A and B are shown apart, each in its own frame.
Chain A
Amino acid sequence: AQRVTQPEKLLSVFKGAPVELKCNYSYSGSPELFWYVQYSRQRLQLLLRHISRESIKGFTADLNKGETSFHLKKPFAQEEDSAMYYCALSGTDKLIFGTGTRLQVFP
Chain B
Amino acid sequence: SAVISQKPSRDICQRGTSLTIQCQVDSQVTMMFWYRQQPGQSLTLIATANQGSEATYESGFVIDKFPISRPNLTFSTLTVSNMSPEDSSIYLCSVGTGGNTIYFGEGSWLTVV
Residues of A bordering B, CB below 8 Å: 32, 34, 36, 42-46, 49, 86, 88, 90, 93-100
Contact = CB atoms under 8 A, between A and B. Distances in A.
Interface string B70-113: 00000000000000000000001010100011111111000000
A99 to B, nearest CB: 4
A97 B104 CA distance: 13
B34 to A, nearest CB: 11
Given A93-B96, A94-B48, A99 B105 contact: no
A46 B101 contact: yes
A99 B107 contact: no
24 contacts: A34-B102, A36-B104, A43-B104, A43-B105, A43-B106, A44-B92, A46-B102, A46-B103, A49-B100, A86-B43, A88-B102, A90-B100, A90-B102, A93-B48, A93-B100, A94-B45, A94-B48, A95-B33, A95-B45, A95-B94, A96-B45, A97-B44, A99-B41, A99-B42
A90 B99 CA distance: 10
B29 interface: no
Contact of B33 (A32, A44, A94, A100): A94
Nearest to A33: B100
B110 to A, nearest CB: 16
